[in-house]
Amino acid sequence: MAENETQADSRERLLDEAEILFAQKGFEGVSVREITRAAHCNLAAVNYYFGNKENLYLEVFRSRWMPRARRIQESFRQSLKGEGDQSLNHIIQCLALAFLKGPLSEAERKCHHQLMAREMAQPTEALEMLAEQIMRPFFRELTDMIRPLIPEGIHEEELMLSAMGIFAMILYFGFGRVAVTRLLGCEYDDALTKRLSGYIADFSIGGLQRLNGEMHHGG
Amino acid sequence: MAENETQADSRERLLDEAEILFAQKGFEGVSVREITRAAHCNLAAVNYYFGNKENLYLEVFRSRWMPRARRIQESFRQSLKGEGDQSLNHIIQCLALAFLKGPLSEAERKCHHQLMAREMAQPTEALEMLAEQIMRPFFRELTDMIRPLIPEGIHEEELMLSAMGIFAMILYFGFGRVAVTRLLGCEYDDALTKRLSGYIADFSIGGLQRLNGEMHHGG
DNA sequence: TTGACATTCAAACGTTCGTTTTATACATAT
DNA sequence: ATATGTATAAAACGAACGTTTGAATGTCAA
């Protein structure tokens, strides 16, 4: 084997193009023909390498989405370690930034969040995999991180919901950017992303602190 | 024409069933045959009444989604008028409640939010219609309502983003309930809905107040 | 009864879908 | 040189898709 390009890269090209197309149009919205055309390989290649279309979809999550999710998480941990400040403010700011600007290109991030949003709206086998291997561990890590920084009596569920509320906004402004720009009346450029990031951080921190206060001072 | 049942109700039954199925599976995920089967009418009925599948989809938004959105908004206005309290706290609480519990049944609300989420993820002609006739007017109404209650210097965009942040969580916990329950590890029953509603309200209010207090964004 | 109109129905249209089949090209190991 | 395994190619499979057709209904006015 060895040697020049376009050889055994068909499998990789298929995964690359499939992820983009699945993110843009959804599983049912893309045909195998469209994917193989984009990847410059034969129609039968999907079945040759992955057995069927559904397996290709799952493999996209295994070999593309999950590693990227881990990179985002790692970027979050690194930016936390970088400074001594471990306040709630700092943690959430780093969290929002890691997911909204993070270590990814604009195209990658858009693709990443769209796929996630689609799985949430219409879960498949893939979501079970992500929930188990990516999301639940990270939520646990996150709640463990936050717990010592807030008043004691708070319920675990509140904590979980808080973390999910943050991701709600991240996902919303990520996957719904077409609608967001249509409503804001301005383009989704780098500046807007930065402002969104700061806004989400502020909003989340405010929400968390209010939750803390409510828990203790009644309401 | 005769006033019997099941007569010219085919059109209405088609709209009812189509909305549910479109919400559950998306435009491409449902076949005309599936819709007509659910509505107990002939396959050709879709083309007879609506010309084609896409027109049926748009008509679902015109004759089902939009009136329901107006009912939700009206419920919000009524609950505001009911009491003299016009504080920021009260407004947002009413807002969250109107969208999370509001005047709809559980099934209706689920259907409603799922359709919206799908349009945000993959906008069609329908979203332009909703943005113009429903969303933009309501956001304007909302920001006009909130503006006098917060410090002056605040930017219009911040206000818009705040409103959208609230809807982000509403949509997230609405359309992603399968994923939510999978992460929380508990069922999405009435009690959870109630807690979610209160949580989103608290979270949103906290976020807004923080925005007011601190104009600057870190990072 | 007749004619016109609105609605339903079964059947078929042409197209596209995911998948399978068969054949071919080419590298490497024996 | 032959056998082997990998990869690509074109063509076809049956099934399902959205849509169209034309006949069969039922209703109501004339």
Q: What digits encode the pLDDT tens for the residues B123-175?
A: 899 999 998 999 989 988 988 888 888 777 667 777 777 777 778 787 777 77
Place of tokens 């402002």: A195
Integer Cα distance of B132 and B134 in angstroms: 6
Q: Which of A143, A164, A170 is nearest to A88 (CA)?
A: A143
Q: What is the mean pLDDT of residues B18-31?
A: 96
**Cβ(A121)–Cβ(B121) under 8 Å?**
yes
Q: Which of A165, A201, A182, A120 is nearest to B170 (CA)?
A: A165
Whole-prediction pTM: 0.87
- Mean per-residue pLDDT, B57-77: 97
Structure tokens at A44: 């039968």
Among the partner residues B127, B196, B210, nearest to A203 by beta-carbon distance: B210
Which DSSP category does A6 fall into? S
* Closest nucleotide over all strands to B35 (CA to C1'): D18
Find the Å distance, CA of residue B44 to C1' of nucleotide D22. Answer: 13
Nearest-10 Cα torsion for A41, A47, A51, A54: 80
As a whole number of angstroms, the distance between CA A60 and CA B155 comes to: 41
Across chain A, which has 219 residues, the per-10-residue mean pLDDT values are 51 98 96 98 97 98 98 95 76 82 87 90 91 90 85 72 78 74 72 76 74 44
Q: What is the mean pLDDT of residues B74-95?
A: 82
**Predicted local distance difference test score (pLDDT) of residue B213:** 54
**Inter-chain contacts counted by CB atoms under 8 A, chains A and B:** 173
Q: How confident is the model at residue B68 (pLDDT cuts 50, 70, 90)?
A: very high
pLDDT at B177 over 80: no
Contacts of B207 in chain A (CB under 8 A): 202-204, 206-207, 210
CB spacing of A135 vs B161 below 8 angstroms: no
Q: Does B127 touch chain A (CB under 8 A)?
A: yes
CB contact under 8 A, A208 and B211: no
Q: Which residues contact B145 (CB under 8 A, 6 or more apart)?
A: B91
Query: Which stretches within chain A are classed as H helix?
Result: 10-25, 32-38, 45-50, 53-60, 66-81, 88-100, 106-121, 125-130, 136-146, 156-175, 177-184, 190-217
Longest dimension (CA), chain B: 69
Distance from CA of A81 to the nearest CA of B (A): 16
Dist CA B10 CA B99 (whole Å): 30
Is the Cβ of B191 closer than 8 Å to some Cβ of chain A?
no
Contact A161 B196 (CB under 8 A): yes
- Strand C bases near protein CB (under 7 Å) are 6-12, 16-22, 27-28
pLDDT at residue number A217 = 33
Contacts of A205 in chain B (CB under 8 A): 210
Q: Does B139 touch chain A (CB under 8 A)?
A: yes
From the list A91, A68, A74, A69, the residue with the least C-alpha distance to A159 is A91
Cβ neighbours of A197 in B, within 8 Å: 219
* Minimum-distance nucleotide, CA of A51 to C1': C19
Structure confidence at residue A188 (pLDDT)? 72
What's phi and psi for A150, nearest 5 deg? -125, 165
With a cut of 60, say whether residue B21 has pLDDT above it: yes
Residues 6 or more apart from B190 whose CB is under 8 A from it?
B106
Tokens of A73: 């998480």
User: Of A165, A183, A203, which is closest to B211 when you measure between CB atoms?
Assistant: A203
Q: Give the other-Cβ count within 10 Å of B111's Cβ.
A: 22
Dihedral sign, Cα of residue B194, residue B195, residue B200, residue B201: positive
When pLDDT is averaged across residues B52-73 and rounded to a whole number, the result is 98
d(C-alpha B158, C-alpha B160), whole Å: 5
CB–CB contact A199 B206 (8 Å)? no
Residue B3 has pLDDT above 50, yes or no: no
Q: Among chain A residues 56 through 75, which have CB within 7 angstroms of nucleic chain D?
A: none
Comparing A72-86, B74-88, B140-154, B176-190, which segment has the lowest mean pLDDT? B176-190
Across all residues in chain B, what is the average pLDDT?
Answer: 83
**A95's tokens:** 């969290």
| Chain B residues within 8 A of A121 when measuring between CB atoms | 114, 117-118, 121, 175-176
3-class secondary-structure state, position A87: coil
Asked if A199 lies within 8 A of B211 by C-beta distance, the reply is: yes
Supply φ then ψ for residue B191, to 5 degrees.
Answer: -65, -45
Beta strands in chain B (DSSP E): none
Q: Do A206 and B207 touch (CB under 8 A)?
A: yes
Asked whether B132 and B190 are in contact (CB, 8 A), the reply is no
pLDDT greater at residue B8 or residue B14: B14
Q: Please identify residues in chain A, positions 24-43, with a C-beta within 7 angstroms of any atom of strand D.
A: 41-43
Across chain A, which distance is largest between two alpha carbons, in Å? 70
Q: How many residues are given for chain B? A: 219
Query: By the CB < 8 Å criterion, does B203 face chain A?
Result: yes
Sign of the four-CA dihedral A103, A107, A113, A116: negative
Contacting residues of A for B194, CB less than 8 Å apart: none
For A96, the closest chain B residue by CA position comes to B219
Instruction: Give the minimum alpha-carbon distance from A11 to chain B in angstroms, rounded to a whole number.
Output: 27
Higher-confidence position of A23 and B209: A23
- B161 neighbourhood in chain A, CB within 8 Å: 184, 195-196, 199
List, as one string, the DSSP characters of B182-204: HHHTS---HHHHHHHHHHHHHHH
| Three-state SS at B165 | helix
DSSP annotation string for A107-136: HHHHHHHHHHHHHHHS--HHHHHHIIIIIH
Nearest chain A alpha carbon to B205: A207
**Beta-carbon count within 10 A of B53 CB:** 17
Contacts of A38 (CB under 8 A, 6+ apart): A17, A20, A21
Does the beta carbon of A195 lie under 8 angstroms from any beta carbon of chain B?
A: yes
pLDDT greater than 90 at residue B190: no
Highest mean pLDDT among A195-199, B78-82, B208-212: B78-82
